[in-house]
Structures are given as C-alpha cells and as structure tokens.
Structure 1
Amino acid sequence: MHVLRFILFTFALLVDRIETINFNPQLRYGECLATVDCSWFKSDLDVINLLPFNWSPGYSQYTLDSEDHVITLSIVREKIIPLITYCLENLNSLYVNSSSIDRLPREIGFLSNLDSINLHNNENLTQVTDEIGKLSAVRRLHISNSKKLMHLPADINKLSNLRELSVTSCSLEDVPSSVGNLQNLESLDFSGNRLAGLPNNLGSLNSVRSLKLNFNPIISSLQEIAAFGNLRSLYLVGCGLKEIPLAITNMTMLEIIDIGANELSSVHNNIRKMTNLRWLYMGGNRFTSIPTELALLENLTILYMDGNNLNDINAVGSLKQIRYLYFYRNQITSVPSDIGNLNKTLESLFLNNNKLTNLPNALAQMSQLKTLNINDNEFSSTSLTLIKNMFVNNNWTTVSY
C-alpha cells in the first residue's frame, strides 16, 4: 500500500493539469486525484526540495522569512509547474515568467495569503481560472506579453482587495463588467490589447486614479472614461485618435495626460476646463504649431511636443507656468524673443534636432533655465560662436551644443 501511495504521489508531482481519460467518458483523473494533497508536507521547504526547478541565477528563485516560510516564489523558464507548487500556503508574491504554463490551475486557490500575482512572457497562457476569485487578499494582479490570453474570468470581481490590475500586451477583446465591482481599484492598465471600449459600469470605480489604454487601436468610444470622476492620470498613446475627445476635456480632476503617437493636429477650446492639468504629452502627433488653447491651462508645467511637425512656436511665451518644454525632433526654424516671458518659471528647454539658425538673446538671461539642448540644428559656425558668447557670463544654464 505504501509503494502504491508513493507512486501516485510521485505522479502527482509531475503533472500540472488533469486530462480526461479517453476510454471512459465518465471517468476523469480529476475524480481519482481531485487535487494535490498538501497534507503530505510538514514545511514549505519540504515542497521546495521536491520541485524540479532550476534554482540558479537567471532562473527560478525563492525567498524565506525568519520562520523558513517561502514568501516569494519566482518561476522562470520552467517547462513543468507541478501542482505541489500551490501547497506553499505562506506565499505572498508569485512570479511566473517565460514558462510553459497555459493556464492558472484551480489549485492556485490554495494560496490564501497571496498579495501579488505576476505572470509575464508566458506565450502559451490562454486562461486564468475562476478559482482566482478565492484569493481575496490579492492586491496586485499583473499579466503581460501573453498573446493567447483573450479573456479574464468573471470571478475576478471577488478579488475584493485588488488595488492594481494590469493586463498588457495580450489579446484582450473585452473587459468583464464584473471589474466594475472592484471598489478598491486604484490603477488599471489594459495597454496593448484589442479593446474597442470599456464596460459602462467602470465609471463607478471612484478609487481609480490611473487608467492606461495605450495601443488599443480600435477605441470606438471614450465616453465611458468620462465617468471616472476621480481619475488623475490618463494614458491613450497610439490609439489612432484624430482629436481629443470632449469627454476627456470634461475630466477636471486630471493632472496627467499622455496622448502621444496619435493623429492630433489641434486642440478643442474646451480644454480650458482642465484646470488641474500639470503634465501633457502630445509627442508623435501632427501639430504644426503650439495650440493657443494651451495658454488657458493655468497649472500646466510640463509639455511634450517632440516628434511633431512644429515649425511655429510663437505661442510659447503665453505658457505662464511652464517649467519643462520638449520640442525636439521638429521643424522649428526660430525661437520667439517673448520666450523671455517665461523667465521666472522655465527650467528645461529641449530644441535639439530642429532647423534653428540662431537664438534670441533672451534665453541667456532666463534666471531659472538650468538645461538647454540645441544639438543637431543648422547653426553656422558664426552663429554658434555668437550663441556661445551669449552664455559666456551665464553660469547657471547647462547648454548642449
């Protein structure tokens, strides 16, 4: 009897999922070996010593607490993940990277102390089990680079303490409406998927402060986003936007917006409502000039407009609170002298990779300017000498020529 038990136990160590037995449709291994029996183990180290992982730098690792409990487990580049792995009941953080896992098995429900789940670069991952809903202590769930993952389980709403949900560079086609019940969520990241929109009820998530939807190229409607009344940062990079949706300009609590790598060429006057906006990234769009409407953003301190088609920055002097300006990789031929209006605020100015032939003297007189980059422009040797002479008595600005 002991020999038979040993054979069955050894077999259980080597399988990571239970398949149907073909010769009898009513009989499953899952009914014979319903799940792994964790009572075999007296300690976490008993489990670790039986796991067939490569415990070496660059591969799988674990950490212990003062009582020899395994609290962090990183499974890296493994072909087999035995079910006994999920007997590490003290585990706080689980990482599965670049492994052959095709799903999270139901046994993950044993890990009641899990705080963080991280699944990265698992190209065969297609399913996250509903059993994940049993892990009520989980606060962070991060999944990335799993191109076969198209859906999340509906029971994700049972992760009542979840603070961060990140599913990026996968193939999500939708977000389950049950996510709208995760009232403790603070951060949502669905970048790099196939989303066309969001469930209408997500707007009830009043705790969400950060929302990232980068590189979802078929975002058909952003009306749902407007319901996030307490959102502080919004990222819509590479979403094929031709204009900033009015729904966004009504989000008056926003402090950070990244709408780079879209097809924008103008800004709606309604942006004046965004009085809390401090950081605006509009790089990689189709602007030819600084939108005059930006002068209405009284708290704007950081502006990125790199990689556009800017040839006119005449409105720059009206950005009264601006501290950091990024205009590199454009077609700018001149800098207006009224940039001196920013004397008390501007700290960094990046004008590299443009078509400048000279600079106004006002730049050398700006008392707060610490960084000026004018590399890769079209200065003649004479102009460059004049510019260097402008800054000869300026010991507070670092100029990159």
Structure 2
Amino acid sequence: MDSHVLFNHNSHRFLRNFLLMLLFVSLCRYTSTTVVESCVEEERQALLSFKEDLIDRSGRLSSWTGQQCCLWRGISCNNRTGHVVKLDLRNPYPYIGGVDDEWNSVEYQKSSLGGKLINPSLQGLKHLSYLDLSLNNFQEIRILNFIGGLKNLRYLNLSSLRYGSFVEEIPSSLGNLSNLNYLDLYNNYFPPSKNLNWLSHLSSLKHLNLGLLNLSSIGVSWLHAINKLPSLLELHLSSCSIDGNQLPLSLPTNNFTSLLVLDLSHNHINSSFPKWMFNLTSLTKLDLGWNLFLHRSLDEFVRLKSLEHLDLWRIGLKGQLLPKFFGNLCKLKSLDLSDNEIDGGIQDFLSGFSNCSSNRMESLDLSSCGMEGELPSSLGMLKSLQHLELSSNSFRGSIRESIISNLSSSLKTLHLGGNLFNGSIPESVGQLSQLVSLDLSDNSWEGSLTEAHFINLTSLKNIVLSTNRPVPIIFNLTDYEWIPPFKLQSLSMDNCRVGPGFPVWLQS
C-alpha cells in the first residue's frame, strides 16, 4: 500500500478514535456531575404522605419540603429518570446490640422514627431498589404486605424494628421480590410462621438474616426452602430456637454450595454436626457457638479449608484437639474455642500451625477451656495476632519476653486474668504499642511496676490488674508528676499500692 494512503488511513483511524474518546469522557463527566433534583411528582407525594404518619423527634426529615425531593435526606434518585430508587432511613443511633437498656435510652428514642404504623403510600415508589427502615420504633408493624409489591427491590433491611401492640407474621407476599439480593429481618420477634416456602422464590438472594425468628414450629421445611437458593452467600440463623429435630443431618441435594457465611449460633442444637455442612467448602465464616453438639470430633472440619473465621464456643467440646485439625486450616484469622473442656496445653494446640507456611491468625480465644502449663515461646509465631484471650484457665509461670517481643507491633487485646501466673510482670509489656485492653487480674503477681511498664502504651484504654498474694503489687513510679502516654476509659486495680499520695497519672 502507498505510504501516503497508509498515512491517511492511520490518520483517519487515529482521529476517529480520538473523537470517540472525547465523546466518552464528556459523557462520563456529564453522568458523574449531573444530579437530578426533582423526583417524579407522584413519588414526591407518596413520600410526603409517608412522612405525615411519622413521629420524627430529632427532625431527621426536616429537609423533606419543596420540590427538590431527590436532595432530601435519605433519598436517592436515578440521575436519568428522576425515579426514587433508594430510601435509607436507618436509625443513625450507634446501637451496639444485645443490650435492652439501649432501646429505652433517651438518645435512641429521640433518633428513632416512630408512629402508629408505616403509611402504605410507599408502594407508589415502583422503581425503589433499596429500602432500609431498620432500628426504628413503630407502635404497629403492618408493613410487609405492601412491601411485597415493590418488585424492583434488591435490598430490604427491616431489622430491629421496635413495636408496641402488634406485629404481623411474615407474609408470603415477600416471595414476589424475585430481584432481591439482600433480606434482613433480624430481631423482630415475628410470631411463628406456618412455613417459609416463599423463600424458595427469591432466586437472586445472596444475604439472608432471620435471626431471632422462631423456627421451632416449622420442622425441617425452612432448610429445604433455603436449600433452593442457588445464589445464597450469607445465611444468618442466630437464636432461631433450632434444635436437633429441625436440623437434618443430610440433604437429598445440597444447592447452596456457594455459601460463604453460616451462622447457627445461640440455638438448641443437640445432635451431631450435620454432614451437609462439610460440603460447604467455600465457607469463610462458620459460627456454631452456644449449642450442644453430641458428636464432638473435629476431624471433618479439615475439609473446610477456606475458613477464615471459626466460632465453636460453648458447644460441648471435650478431650484433646488434634493438631492436624489446625494444620489444615491455614487461612484462619479468628478462632474461638472458649468455654469448652480441652485436654492438654497450648503447646499441643499451636503445634498444628507448624504445618502452615504462614499463619494469618488475628484473634484467638481459648478462655475457660481448662488449659494449663506455661505459655510457650511458639505463641510468638502468631505475628499477626491482635486479640489474645486466655483468661480463666490454669496457665502458670511468667510471661515470656520473647512472646511479647514478637507481638509488640500487632497485639491490641491481652487478657490473661484468672490464671496461676506468678513472678513479676515483665517490663516488655510496655512495648505493646498497639495495646488497647489489658487484663492481668486474679493471678499471683509480685514485685513492682515502673514507668517502663507503660512507656509505649499510647493506645491503652482499659486496665484490669490485681494479685492474689497477700503482698500487693507496688507502683514504683519515681516521678510523682509523671503523665502516662495514654487516656484511660476504665481502670480496675485490686490489691495494688499506689501511694503515698494520690498520683498525678491517675488524676489525668
């Protein structure tokens, strides 16, 4: 081909590609900066009708005036059509969970949206894909029937809705939400359902939380319904009154093999570990805590090699833990075996990790396990460890300085209370620069503490310290005016001598 023609051809192609690129950039800029301010009028009226029946003590919805409804708090619109696609009215109160006093606090009540009921005018938001009303406080919850008509919903969070006089059973109309990816109905104390067959229609569901829903009257049908959800990634069934009769040991087929998270904690399961559970080889998190399983061998857990978080606290474990169990779970980041009866010392436990080329353990809880012996130097090989809970065991001896040295840059929690440790507390504890919580109480410590024990504890917030010996621990701080590098939130000291005057560091 003639070079001149080839040059022109390449020039035209370059110019065409350049113009297309400019068009693409301009479109992206327009899309990213254009914000629709006014939603569809019918949807604006639906939102105003919804607001009329609400009690808003904190004025969270004070912006809900005028025509620019897409700029109202908690509202998001489609930038092209102006349809309301997101309604996020989750209570902003920082609820911790599990503490009833929080529900009754003035702060929670003030930040909650309330009212006698939720106005069904929301069913006019036909294009809504995201709805979060969690942690609010309504006198009556009669809302789920009309929500079943919002067929474009992909995210639905109705968790922890407080109520007064009436709460309805979960209606089967929720099964119409075939596009739903996320469903959270946790902590609503719905009356026992006759069945949950409607769940099987939610073929797109990836996250399901039915925590505190009473499943005791349904039998095994709930599991068969959930087993028909091929896209499910997370299943949370904590405190659902499940016992051994409602948890079959085997399934004809296992369809939720993509499951990443399974939570069956706080139930009444008194059977063997279900066999189908060990086919969930994609699991990264498994919580079986607070049950009483009859078959206590952990051999089959070695098949779950993707596990990063394993919680087996208070499940009735007895006897020795085989090292090969841990040697096959090299991806573990957190492990909770507390409140079980485990034979042997921590050295036997740690030897299993020697099969791992590297370990990722960040949180280890072996409290109240009946363990004994001295803490071995090999504990320091868990160099990513952030939280170490070894309280209420029979560990003795001292804390090896090599352990503290290896964990000095990572450890945030060190709880060794209620053991048989003796001797002096090593000064190297003061090098745990990331430490937030320290519990050395109820041991047989002796000797003195100096500024060196605290010198680099810049993150420390909580201290619990005591000795069982008749002679108290002495705070031997040479500088009365010494100010510590931390700001404590809680401090408990028993049988400690901190005199003769009230020290300045405590006043700070």
TM-score range, shorter chain: 0.7 to 0.9
1:178 corresponds to 2:216? no
- TM-score with structure 2 setting the length: 0.59
Shift of 1:193: 0.8
- Per the alignment, residue 44 of structure 2 pairs with 45
Query: Residues 90 and 291 (structure 1 numbering): CA distance in 2 closer, same or farther, change over 3 Å?
Result: farther
Distance of 1:395 and 1:42 partners within structure 2: 61
- Of the three residues 77, 93, 104, the one matched with 2:144 is 104
Distance of 2:289 and 2:126 partners within structure 1: 40
Query: Residues 122 and 164 (structure 1 numbering): CA distance in 2 closer, same or farther, change over 3 Å?
Result: same
Query: Residues 118 and 285 (structure 1 numbering): CA distance in 2 closer, same or farther, change over 3 Å?
Result: same
Query: Residues 320 and 111 (structure 1 numbering): CA distance in 2 closer, same or farther, change over 3 Å?
Result: same
- TM-score with structure 1 setting the length: 0.73
Among all aligned residue pairs of Structure 1 and Structure 2, give the percentage whose two residues are the same amino acid: 16
The AA in structure 1 aligned to 2:199 is I
- SS of the aligned residue for 1:72 comes to strand
The AA in structure 2 aligned to 1:140 is Y
RMSD, aligned CA: 3.7
| Unpaired stretches in structure 1, ≥5 consecutive residues | 1-40
Structure with max Cα Rg = 2
Deviation digits for residues 158-206 of structure 1 (CA, Å, limit 9, x no counterpart): 2222121011012123424132232222111001012231572674323
- Per the alignment, residue 317 of structure 1 pairs with 378
Query: Residues 300 and 251 (structure 1 numbering): CA distance in 2 closer, same or farther, change over 3 Å?
Result: same
Distance of 2:317 and 2:377 partners within structure 1: 19
1:64 corresponds to 2:100? no
Query: Residues 341 and 88 (structure 1 numbering): CA distance in 2 closer, same or farther, change over 3 Å?
Result: closer
Shift of 1:142: 0.6
Aligned residues: 354
Query: Residues 103 and 110 (structure 1 numbering): CA distance in 2 closer, same or farther, change over 3 Å?
Result: closer
Shift of 1:257: 0.3
Query: Residues 115 and 239 (structure 1 numbering): CA distance in 2 closer, same or farther, change over 3 Å?
Result: same
Where do residues 2-401 of structure 1 align in structure 2 (5 Å cutoff)? 43-51=42-50, 52-57=52-57, 63-66=74-77, 67=82, 69=84, 71-72=86-87, 74=89, 76-91=113-128, 92-95=130-133, 97-99=136-138, 100-101=140-141, 104-105=144-145, 107-119=146-158, 120-121=160-161, 124-125=166-167, 127-145=169-187, 146-150=189-193, 153-173=196-216, 174=220, 175-195=222-242, 196=244, 197=247, 200=251, 203-220=254-271, 221-241=273-293, 243=296, 245-265=298-318, 266-271=320-325, 272-287=327-342, 289-290=345-346, 292-297=348-353, 298=356, 299=359, 301=361, 302-315=363-376, 317=378, 320-322=381-383, 323-324=385-386, 325-335=388-398, 337=400, 340=402, 343-345=405-407, 347-348=410-411, 349-359=414-424, 364=428, 370-371=434-435, 373-379=438-444, 383-385=446-448, 388=450, 391=453, 395=456, 400=463
Larger RCO of the pair (alpha carbons < 8 Å, separation 6+): 1
Shift of 1:154: 1.4
Shifted more, 340-349 versus 148-157: the winner is 340-349
Shift of 1:358: 2.0
Distance of 1:60 and 1:169 partners within structure 2: 29
| Unpaired stretches in structure 2, ≥5 consecutive residues | 1-39, 62-72, 91-112, 466-508
Query: Residues 367 and 55 (structure 1 numbering): CA distance in 2 closer, same or farther, change over 3 Å?
Result: closer
Deviation digits for residues 299-324 of structure 1 (CA, Å, limit 9, x no counterpart): 25231123444443445635633524
Distance of 2:252 and 2:57 partners within structure 1: 45
- SS of the aligned residue for 2:381 comes to coil
